[in-house]
């Protein structure tokens, strides 16, 4: 944006009124959570050495790590023992990215071979997760057999499990014995009346339960499982799906309940509910939250415990950095033909190099942050960033399938979310329709950082009041964001721009990724 002497109107993102705070159920931490900072953004200094060792290269448990390290899922668990009204498991859909969707189901043996193949080709892949497409603990033998096989052949890979929690108390000992150090439980309610609106039925102890009774059993089992795991020192993350009009306000209570039981991290995710997904909520026209509704809820819970904001609601067969999907490179057919050489030393050497690059990102951010020392301003802005990883602004506007969103203030640049989009440049041409969806997705941001951008989208963004910023191409994200913010404050102070509220933004409900 050319500034000159022209007065430019910059807008502040909409600040929602805080959600009402309900009565606290007790917050005696069992050691999992910390209020010191956003847990997923917490650095080494915020955590005990033991916990840091567990999270430092886990892309979901550490926001900082997610720029550098990858995870993979293997889809060995097809069956589920409950029904969620936002779920419809689907197969053979390679360009749809949301939980429950996979292209292939694998046997434990196929899965173990796939893990070795991916680990050999992507040395920064540090975590194997089993997350479906059904519930891993409704398929315990396949799940645990897979973990056993991987532990034998690739001992450096962290094991991670994601479950609805119904069967969790029965398998805690087995989880501990297998050194599964990270467990996610999806907890959407602690009030069975609300649960009855989310779960039509569960299947438990060879019996089908419905309504409030089903939700009560599920909730009791989830909270018991969480307590048993945290008592054993296993890091637990709680995922909650934000369903406007059903559990949105209630999730503040859920947050307190899981914090008091020692959960390390709380991940409140937007419900994905397009009618074409065929879910009960989607077909009924129930909408997911807007970007600012989600952020307001996450912000209101942040004082209580560490919040995760970088979840990508992955497929059950996702491979790669969060936000990228390389599963098509590792289909069963391709994996079975691969000549796999698992080289532990090579992986470790690569990861040492990743750590050096990561330390450089942090050092650059901290140095830049010092330039804001003494700045006294209540202003904060949101910016969007196109990145392919490594903490750098290294993606062309037209190629971005998602934008990472940072909140920047005098305290620094904080990752607060991501917005999935249809990439603007398709087949070498810009798509007007795609530009509109991009603008709607980052409408609450004052600017978008990209490595390059064409004239047409540049003009479209400017018209929408979003500044395209390509002068930090290939630089570090947080360092550049702080530099930009310092200059932004100067422009506000000298009257070049006026700082005021921007509107809300869309969360892409279709959640489609084009190949």
Decide: is 480 part of the binding site for ligand CLF (CB under 6 A). Answer: no
By C-alpha distance, which of 412, 490, 499, 401 is closest to 447?
Answer: 499
Give yes or no for a contact between 447 and 468, defined as CB atoms under 8 angstroms apart: yes
- Contact letters (x/-) for ligand CLF, 129-158, by CB under 6 A? x-x---------------------------
DSSP state of 342: -
Residue of minimal Cβ distance to ligand SF4: 87
- Contacts to ligand CLF from residues 252-291, by CB under 6 A: 267
401, two tokens: 């399938």
By C-alpha distance, which of 437, 361, 354, 421 is closest to 386?
Answer: 421
Decide: is 160 part of the binding site for ligand CLF (CB under 6 A). Answer: yes
End-to-end CA distance of the chain: 32
H/E stretch holding 465: none
Helices (H) and strands (E) in the chain, counts: 14, 22
- The CA angle 507-513-515, to the nearest 5 degrees, is 160
- Contacts to ligand CLF from residues 166-185, by CB under 6 A: 182, 184
By C-alpha distance, which of 429, 420, 412 is closest to 362?
Answer: 412
132 binds, among ligand CLF, ligand SF4, none (CB under 5 to 8 A by kind): ligand SF4
Decide: is 82 part of the binding site for ligand SF4 (CB under 6 A). Answer: yes
By C-alpha distance, which of 293, 290, 291, 301 is closest to 267?
Answer: 301
Residue of minimal Cβ distance to ligand CLF: 129
Decide: is 39 part of the binding site for ligand SF4 (CB under 6 A). Answer: no
DSSP state of 148: H
CB of 237 to ligand CLF, least distance (A): 6
Stretch that binds ligand SF4, among 78-86, 345-353, 412-420, 456-464 (CB under 6 A): 78-86
Decide: is 451 part of the binding site for ligand CLF (CB under 6 A). Answer: no
91, two tokens: 């197969």
314 binds, among ligand CLF, ligand SF4, none (CB under 5 to 8 A by kind): ligand CLF
- Contact letters (x/-) for ligand SF4, 137-166, by CB under 6 A? ---------------------------x--
Other C-beta atoms lying within 10 Å of the C-beta of residue 213: 14
455, two tokens: 């004239």
Other C-beta atoms lying within 10 Å of the C-beta of residue 388: 16
- Contact letters (x/-) for ligand CLF, 324-343, by CB under 6 A? --------------------
CB of 186 to ligand CLF, least distance (A): 10
Residues that bind ligand CLF (CB under 6 A): 60, 71, 73, 127, 129, 131, 160, 162, 182, 184, 267, 311-314, 322
Residues that bind ligand SF4 (CB under 6 A): 80, 82-84, 87, 89, 100, 132, 134-135, 164
């Amino acid at each position: 944006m050319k500034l000159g002497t022209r007065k430019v109107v910059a807008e502040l993102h909409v600040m929602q009124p805080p959600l009402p705070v309900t009565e606290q159920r007790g917050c005696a931490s069992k050691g999992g959570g910390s209020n010191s900072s956003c847990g997923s953004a917490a650095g080494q200094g915020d955590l005990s050495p033991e916990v840091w060792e567990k999270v430092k290269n886990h892309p979901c448990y550490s926001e900082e790590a997610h720029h550098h390290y990858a995870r993979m899922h293997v889809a060995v668990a097809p069956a589920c023992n409950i029904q969620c009204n936002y779920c419809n498991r689907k197969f053979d859909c390679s360009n749809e990215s949301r939980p429950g969707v996979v292209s292939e189901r694998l046997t434990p043996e196929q899965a173990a071979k796939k893990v070795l193949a991916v680990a050999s080709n992507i040395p920064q892949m540090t975590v194997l997760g089993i997350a479906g497409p059904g519930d891993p603990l409704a398929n315990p033998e396949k799940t645990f057999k897979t973990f056993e096989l991987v532990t034998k052949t690739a001992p450096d890979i962290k094991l991670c499990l994601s479950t609805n929690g119904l069967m969790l108390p029965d398998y805690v000992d087995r989880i501990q014995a297998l050194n599964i150090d990270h467990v996610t439980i999806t907890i959407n309610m602690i009030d069975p009346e609300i649960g009855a609106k989310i779960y039509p039925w569960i299947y438990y102890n060879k019996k089908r339960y419905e309504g409030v009774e089903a939700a009560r059993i599920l909730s009791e089992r989830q909270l018991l499982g969480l307590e048993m795991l945290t008592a054993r020192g296993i890091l637990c993350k709680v995922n909650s799906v934000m369903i406007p009009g059903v559990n949105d306000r209630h999730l503040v209570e859920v947050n307190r309940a899981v914090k008091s039981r020692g959960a390390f991290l709380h991940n409140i995710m937007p419900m994905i509910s397009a009618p074409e997904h065929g879910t009960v909520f989607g077909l009924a026209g129930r909408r997911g939250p807007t970007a600012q509704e989600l952020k307001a809820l996450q912000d209101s819970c942040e004082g209580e415990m560490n919040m995760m904001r970088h979840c990508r609601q992955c497929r059950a067969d996702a491979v790669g950095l969060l936000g990228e999907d390389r599963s098509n490179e590792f289909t069963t057919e391709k994996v079975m033909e691969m000549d796999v050489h698992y080289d532990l030393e090579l992986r470790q050497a690569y990861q040492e190099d990743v750590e050096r690059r990561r330390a450089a990102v942090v050092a650059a951010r901290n140095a830049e942050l010092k330039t804001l020392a003494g700045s006294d301003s209540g202003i904060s802005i949101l910016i969007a960033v196109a990145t392919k990883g490594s903490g750098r602004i290294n993606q062309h506007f037209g190629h971005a399938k998602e934008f990472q969103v940072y909140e920047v203030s005098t305290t620094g640049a904080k990752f607060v979310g991501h917005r999935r989009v249809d990439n603007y440049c398709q087949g070498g041409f810009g798509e007007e329709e795609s530009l509109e969806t991009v603008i709607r997705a980052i409408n609450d941001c004052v600017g978008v950082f990209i490595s390059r951008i064409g004239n047409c989208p540049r003009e479209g963004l400017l018209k929408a009041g979003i500044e395209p910023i390509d002068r930090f191409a290939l630089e570090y994200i947080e360092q550049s964001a702080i530099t930009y913010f310092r200059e932004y404050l100067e422009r506000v102070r000298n009257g070049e721009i006026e700082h005021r509220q921007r509107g809300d933004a869309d969360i892409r409900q279709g959640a489609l990724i084009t190949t």
